[in-house]
Amino acid sequence: MVAGLSGYYWPRRMVLGYRTYLFCVLLFFSTPLFTAKVFAGTGVTPPAGTLRVAIAAEDYPPFYYQNFDGEMDGFSVRVLQALSAQLQLSLNWQRLPWNRVVHHLEMGRADLVLVMYHSDSRSERFLFSDISYLQDGIVLVCYRVCKVSLSDNMAELADNELALVRGFSYGQVLDALPLNAVTMVESDTLLLNLLSHGRLQLGIASYLTVSRAPLMQQQSPPLEILLPFLAVVDIYFAFSRHSALSLAQMQAFNQALIDFVQSPDYRALRAEFQLDLPDD
């Protein structure tokens, strides 16, 4: 028998059982699984070893998507997983509408966004990784048969009605283009679906994404991708200026990224996802 604080004597097996219960509770509350559930989508500061990663609720291949096993996958995910393993950081995924992804990053509710194009306005709001880890082409996509031809005069685009994804950046040059008629849609998938049914005529999209869309794998695709590229843009990781990560952790992340993109593992990953852009 063991005496309690009130003088009541507890059977020893009950004391041992209670201690085991406390140990299990503490173990559960310290696991990454619990951490992911608690800190996803909240403003609560996670443990120092957790990296809160905000990504769009809609899959965005080849950068990120949920695979058949229900796990996050994609080129950008694999790069981040390699870096986080080296830095001993656990990953907490936040899947949100794109506008909320940007808001969470700006407010410090997320530490990192996987895929972001650089622009002057964004660099005032976020901290970009020291180097880009991939390039993408920005293309004009049209309902087949396309009635528009590209020329070297980018200003001609201003005279056409274009569809864009709300909240996306398409690179410094295109963001600054004074467009006269713009239709905003909520996602790349919606943009391509509307184009494929002829409800929109022209849209701007990522080449790496649109070229892998299921619609483009059909024998007679309903969409046409116009080349040359409107722009070639660099893809960065973007950090919140209010991140829970320390400056030392960010510096270590940047150095790990620099080392990784020079490694055989990075080249093998690019080859696996077939990410070389065509000559335009």
Domain parsing of the chain, residue ranges: 45-132+235-273, 135-233
Say yes or no: do domains 45-132+235-273 and 135-233 share a fold: yes
163-207, pLDDT tens digit by residue? 888 878 777 667 776 666 678 888 888 889 898 888 888 888 999
Residue 23 has pLDDT above 90, yes or no: no
Residue 152 has pLDDT above 80, yes or no: no
Question: What is the rounded average pLDDT for all residues in the chain?
Answer: 81
Say what the pLDDT of residue 145 is: 79
Cα torsion through 83, 88, 89, 90, rounded to 10: 110
Of the candidates 189, 183, 35, 197, the residue with the CA atom closest to the CA atom of residue 98: 189
Say what the pLDDT of residue 134 is: 97
Residue 151 has pLDDT above 80, yes or no: no
Domain 135-233 indexed as CATH 3.30.565.10:
no
Residue 160 has pLDDT above 80, yes or no: no
Residue 62 has pLDDT above 50, yes or no: yes
Say what the pLDDT of residue 7 is: 46
What are 274-277's contacts with CB under 8 Å, separation 24+? 275/62, 275/75, 275/134, 275/208, 277/135, 277/136, 277/137, 277/207, 277/208, 277/229, 277/232
H-helix or E-strand spanning residue 234: strand 223-240
Of the candidates 108, 79, 61, the residue with the CA atom closest to the CA atom of residue 217: 61
Of the candidates 57, 96, 63, the residue with the CA atom closest to the CA atom of residue 78: 63
Could you tell me which residue, 174 or 15, shows the higher pLDDT? 174
Residue 49 has pLDDT above 50, yes or no: yes
Say what the pLDDT of residue 108 is: 94
Structure confidence at residue 9 as a pLDDT band (50, 70, 90): very low
CA gap 177, 155 in Å, rounded: 7
Say what the pLDDT of residue 33 is: 36
Residue 150 has pLDDT above 60, yes or no: yes
Q: Where are the alpha helices (DSSP H) in the chain?
A: 12-29, 32-39, 75-87, 98-107, 120-125, 172-175, 188-196, 207-210, 247-260, 264-273
Say what the pLDDT of residue 231 is: 86
Listed in sequence order, the residues at least 6 apart from 61 whose beta carbon sits closer than 8 Å to its beta carbon are: 74, 209, 212
| Residues β-bridged to residue 10 | 2
235-272, pLDDT tens digit by residue? 999 999 998 888 899 999 999 999 999 999 999 999 99
Of the candidates 252, 198, 238, the residue with the CA atom closest to the CA atom of residue 88: 252
Contact 240, 184 (CB under 8 A): no
Say what the pLDDT of residue 280 is: 56
Q: Percent of the chain beyond pLDDT 70?
A: 75
| Options 3.40.190.10, 3.90.1640.30, 3.20.20.70, 3.40.50.12780; CATH of 45-132+235-273 | 3.40.190.10
Say what the pLDDT of residue 75 is: 98
